[in-house]
Amino acid sequence: MTYEQTTEYLFNCAPLFQQVGSSAYKEGLDNTRLLDEHFGHPHRNYRTIHVAGTNGKGSTSHTLAAILQAAGYKVGLYTSPHLIDFRERIRVDGVPASKQFVVDFVEKERSFFEPLHPSFFELTTAMAFLYFAQEKVDVAIIEVGLGGRLDCTNIIAPDACVITNISPDHTQFLGSTLAQIAGEKAGIIKKETPVIIGETTPETKAVFAQKAATERAPIIFAEEAAQLIDAQPHNSGIRYHTNSYGTIDAELGGCYQIKNTNTILTVLDTLKEKGYKIDTQAVHKGFANVTASTGLMGRWQKVGCNPTVVCDAGHNIGGISYIVEQLSQQQCDTLRIVFGMVNDKDISSVLAMMPKEATYYFTQASVKRALPSQELAALAAQYGLSGNCYPSVADALYAAKGEASPRDFIFVGGSCFIVADLLAATS
């Protein structure tokens, strides 16, 4: 098979959550353990860091990887979802897994895994763990797919666990309250393994503290560690003044990165206690070069000028709230928003937060879960949001740019799949 045929096979033989939603979700770790045993427990051949959370886990994972790469480590990075190419999920020092590895894995192993009927994520996780072992990485940053307790990444024995924050998302699987969701995310907390919590509420903090006590795991609340002195916009990123690393000029913009940065700096302290050699120069270099070092896309990413066009993959209440705050800070003549969502999110709560003064271009991503643009526009009208509908992201952006002046600001988002379609159309 070619690489294209192989990925098409993967998407079809093991339903992809980002395409079909809940029908692709498989609860439990039975398949994961069978796959892990078959491949000889490859994750035991390198150190790992486990990252969970509702929002921020992608930026946190990529930035940690960039810092460790700058410190001289060979770093594996496993994240999801991919935006354009499947291999974005599995990287070593920022380079995606080779197409030949993906093809060879499927051709060699399909006789074993097909009878198991694994989910796409179960199969991809096994593939990533094996690839990192073959590439002889020093350490792998492993991002949780969904939840934590029953997530198939939760077989590793990491040096540290990180939980960025908790907000409502995937409530059909994780629970309807913050405490229930925190309980699922807290499932990655392991016996006597340090855990760093980025943000808490009184409801979630108690859950994390209880789980850590049960596992005798040292727990560090990043908000209490307060590594940051202050933060201000700088060029297209953020300048941080810190207690331990001086002034850091970070590449990633977006006001939500401030909380992520405080969490990341707190994690670095724990890693250094674990024997990692990370100097100040590596921290500065990592923060300054996240996208080039790791391939991160879709985080307050500027994709056009005159008018400015920015996309962001934030897609739930927590993520959108930061985006709305960021949009309110833009100095522009007219704010134009190319917007689409998938049908299993809390759409009403998101629409209630969106700026009413903007001009909207409602659209839909090229996935089965996409909410039709006409339905989205009808719902949006109930919250005072108005605009026209377009059949694709490319069509919506073309219309927005056609109506915009050079001093306008165009935001593209609402779903990571909207961003994926945008990047595919502009790449």
CATH number at 352 reads 3.90.190.20
Task: Name the residue with tokens 């029953």.
Answer: 150
Provide the domain count of the chain.
Answer: 2
Buried b (16+ CB within 10 A) or exposed e, 96-106: bbebebbbebb
- Are 285 and 152 in the same domain? yes
Helix (H) or strand (E) holding 232: strand 228-234
Q: Which of 265, 294, 323 is the last residue of a domain?
A: 294
Choose the final residue of a domain: 237, 269, 294.
294
Residue 166 sits in the same domain as residue 197: yes
Q: What is the pLDDT of residue 26?
A: 54
Q: Domain check: are 76 and 184 in the same one? A: yes
State the angle between helix axes of 416-426 and 393-403 in degrees (0 to 180), rounded to the nearest 10: 70
Q: Are residues 123 and 249 in the same domain?
A: yes
Please state, in angstroms and rounded to a whole number, the distance separating the CA atoms of residues 250 and 320: 22
Beta bridge partners of 354: none
> Residues near 314 by Cβ (< 8 Å), separated by ≥ 6?
55, 256, 320, 322, 323, 413
Q: What is the pTM of this model?
A: 0.92
Instruction: Verify that 259 and 364 share a domain, yes or no.
Output: no
Q: Which residues, in sequence order, are CB contacts of 380 under 8 Å at separation 6+? A: 339, 351, 354, 360, 362, 386, 387
Residues 6 or more apart in contact with residue 88 via CB below 8 angstroms = 79, 82, 96, 295, 297
The pLDDT, as a whole number, for residue 176 is: 67
Residues 224 and 247 in one domain: yes
CATH value at residue 243: 3.40.1190.10
DSSP code, position 217? -
Q: Are residues 281 and 315 in the same domain?
A: no
Asked if residue 410 lies in contact with residue 363, where contact means CB atoms within 8 angstroms, the answer is no
Residues 226 and 361 in one domain: no
At 1 the three-state DSSP class reads coil
Residue 147's pLDDT is: 76
Relative to beta strand 359-362, strand 335-339 is parallel
Domain check: are 149 and 263 in the same one? yes
CA dihedral 189, 91, 169, 122 (to 10 degrees): -70
User: Among residues 270, 294, 318, which one ends one of the domains?
Assistant: 294
pLDDT of residue 2: 96
What is the DSSP secondary-structure string of 339-401?
A: E--BTTS-HHHHHHHS-TTSEEEE---SSTTBPPHHHHHHHHHTTT--EEE-SSHHHHHHHHH
In which domain, by residue range, is 355 found? 301-426
Whether residues 143 and 289 share a domain: the answer is yes
For residues 422 and 317, membership in a common domain is answered with: yes
**Whether residue 133 sits in one domain with residue 239:** yes
Taking 50 as the pLDDT cut, the residues of the chain under it are: 17-25, 170-171
